[in-house]
Structure 1
């Protein structure tokens, strides 16, 4: 039985080298697959030479720390989807396209996923079923659209729509992250400055007030108490903050906590408006993409409902789905909830009457994309001065509380 020196990838994306005996390369490949190893290169060798090479490789093996941080990002998935659609449109078969993508991908973890998908497709599985084995990489929305594309025979078209959808979602997410970066940095900086003043500077200055016979102002007493508390019980404060955060997170995971928290967010003046617009944009764009890809309306609503990120709005979609199942149109069901603005329900109603619901939903998504950008700018414009005012009030309180008794000492000395 011949011996083969092989290299492959484990299920975790780790490079694996070794030597094994098998009747042929196909038998070796099947044996390694059972062990969770995906073959990437193989050469026939003698058993002795293979054992020596294996031992040498084991001695020289080093830990690649970069693999510990290797993960499949939504940007990678979007790029892969676009390239796969381009290859299929050019007439390349699906197995060949998957093999080409596997060779091009740099992430070892993603390479392992695509290798397994390619193997399953070559064995006769559908692309959607092969991708469904990796829900963290390809979510339910993605898999259902691929399945609809395969059923309709327009897989490349669905891939292009899906790629555009993923890029749009990434764009919205990046806008929100960029807009929130500056206020968050200001908040952290302000908290750090005030903490530094309380712990490092205030105790040294307020020590001179201890021997004063005069009554200290209330704000100075409060400052001294706060400084002593933070300096002496900082560990208890950190522990309390951690406990409150843990308790809040646990409460939010309960059904009552999710309902109360999400309902409260929607009622906030500026934040609630932004959350609602993001949800409406996501709802419209996703539903339009699913319907255009051939997914049935009721099934599409089930998928969309899981993407809104707010249980109040999710419940609205669930009730609308039940009403549609009983023969009602989607627009009246959404209008009754009061959670969707009249403009949205009116445009959806027009789309239903004209038979152009997908196009009208796309128009709603584009409209609310612009509204989302405006709300993000408004929120950023509100948070930035608030953070500056917060820092100014905190530092001003410390300075005033220190200077007021110093001025009192000066007046007492002068008299």
Structure 2
């Protein structure tokens, strides 16, 4: 029986790691849930080990078939909410959604969830057998809905949450389309000049037999290196990229890179605000669903796509466990603005913390949307300066020798 290594959180919210033997990763997930541990990651203990066919199916991944996308989960969430609100039993609802599903991978997952429910498992536990389809936050909210009897309401809030995430992704892609095109055009132009233009001028300069300026010699040297040793340059870029990906894959590297991303000009503040908007929306959703604040903090920390801010949220949870208020914990985190801290204080005093967190999420979302709408205008001056510097270097490197030779000829 294969062994799987796992990481998860126990009922106290503490991070636990270990290994278990099981037929598949889904079986290991069942064992962890039964022991009170919410799994965050389950993978083969041996590097390069292959998942079994059952594990691959439960993950919703098919190499040659359909793949489950964010919009598929979004559509499923909305439909299951509508069906449950209409009073249709969960098994009938899943059967109807399975038959009407266009995505074959999603249809397969829904069938496996129905089979799991038939065997006596709860909905959240059945969904947990598909960790690549349903996130930890999604599963936690479904479990809360089961415990409180408000499953259809939880699915509606999850739909709003997923819709918010989809909107953010689309806005980011739209905002980066123009800058990406400009950078790509600059890269192509630099390649053409370096491979074809500079070598042609180098042959002309060689016929003059005169000493060339330093900038020209640098450009010609780099061009010659690119033309004759291009494979070394490509190999160095590939090795650097692989090394960076390997560093980011480590826990320390991932944390440090997420911290650095927040300090990148222009993009850093957008990432920061978008992450805090997700935190506030997730916390409000968990709080409205009746999740205790400590458990809500643990659940929300697991949904953060930035390890640095997730660590801040976990420290906030630890501070609250020690008896501090949410306001003092938020101040200690050092990631919130004074306006947000004031809204948190009002929410705690009035007992409407979930409403205040929803307002904070909306405020951050509006700021992110504004930043994204003006992103092209903010990046444009930087692109113009970069383009100007590139043109200046090329122009000086190519035309300085011609200008010097012309000046010498005039003096003769």
The TM-score normalised by the length of structure 2 is 0.80
Residue 221 (structure 1) shift: 1.4
Q: Give the distance between the partners of 1:275 and 1:113, measured in 2 at CA.
A: 33
Give the direction of change, closer, same or farther, for the CA distance of 1:69–1:237 in structure 2 (3 Å limit): farther
Q: 2:191 aligns with which of 169, 172, 195?
A: 195
CA distance in 2, matches of 1:292, 1:219: 64
Please state if 1:251 is matched with 2:247.
Answer: yes
Contact 2:315 2:333 in 1 (8 A): no
Stretch of structure 1 that moved more, 78-87 or 258-267: 258-267
**Structure-to-structure mapping, 1:283-362, within 5 angstroms:** 283-362=279-358
Tell me which residue corresponds to 1:56.
none
Superposed, 1:16-415 pairs within 5 Å as 68=64, 70-412=66-408, 415=412
In structure 2, how many angstroms separate the alpha carbons of the residues matched to 1:320 and 1:260? Answer: 19
Question: Do 2:137 and 2:302's aligned partners in 1 also have CA atoms closer than 8 Å?
Answer: no
Per-residue deviation at 1:410?
Answer: 4.2
Please give the alpha-carbon distance, in whole angstroms, between the structure 2 residues aligned to 1:396 and 1:69: 51
Instruction: Name the counterpart of 1:39.
Output: none
Aligned length: 354
Mapped contact 2:136–2:303 kept (Cα < 8 A): no
> Tell me, which stretches of 5 or more residues in structure 2 are unaligned?
1-23, 25-52, 55-61
- Residues 67/323 of structure 1: CA separation in 2 closer, same or farther (3 Å cut): closer
Coordinate RMSD, CA, aligned: 2.2
CA distance in 1, matches of 2:244, 2:232: 18
| Shift, 1:371, TM fit | 1.0
Give CA-to-partner distance per residue, 1:310-354, whole Å, 9 cap, x none: 333222211211122222221111112222212222211211111
How far is the alpha carbon of 1:67 from its aligned partner? 6.9
Q: Distance in 1 between matches of 2:165 and 2:340?
A: 20
CA contact (8 A) 1:194 1:395 kept: no
1:283/1:304 contact within 8 Å kept: yes
Q: What secondary structure sits across from 1:295 in the alignment? A: coil
Q: TM-score, normalised by structure 1?
A: 0.80
1:135 aligns to what SS in structure 2? coil
CA distance in 1, matches of 2:83, 2:327: 39
- Give the stretch that moved more between structures: 398-407 or 123-132: 398-407
The answer (yes or no) to whether the contact 1:302–1:318 under 8 Å persists in 2 is yes
Q: Is the 8 A contact 2:195 2:223 kept in 1?
A: yes
Cα displacement (A) at 1:152: 1.2
> Could you tell me whether the CA contact under 8 Å between 1:316 and 1:337 is conserved in 2?
yes
Deviation at 1:378, TM superposition (A): 4.4
Moved more, 123-132 or 391-400: 391-400
> Are the equivalent residues in 2 in contact too, given 1:145–1:290 (CA < 8 A)?
yes
Q: CA 1:150 to 1:412, structure 2 compared with 1: closer, same or farther past 3 Å?
A: same
Residue 48 of structure 2 is matched in structure 1 by none
Contact 1:77 1:137 in 2 (8 A): yes
C-alpha displacement of 1:401: 2.4
Q: Shift of residue 294 of structure 1?
A: 2.2
Distance 2:303 2:383 in 1: 31
- Structure 1 unaligned runs (5+)? 1-10, 12-34, 37-65
SS in structure 2 of the partner of residue 182 of structure 1:
helix
Contact 1:186 1:388 in 2 (8 A): no
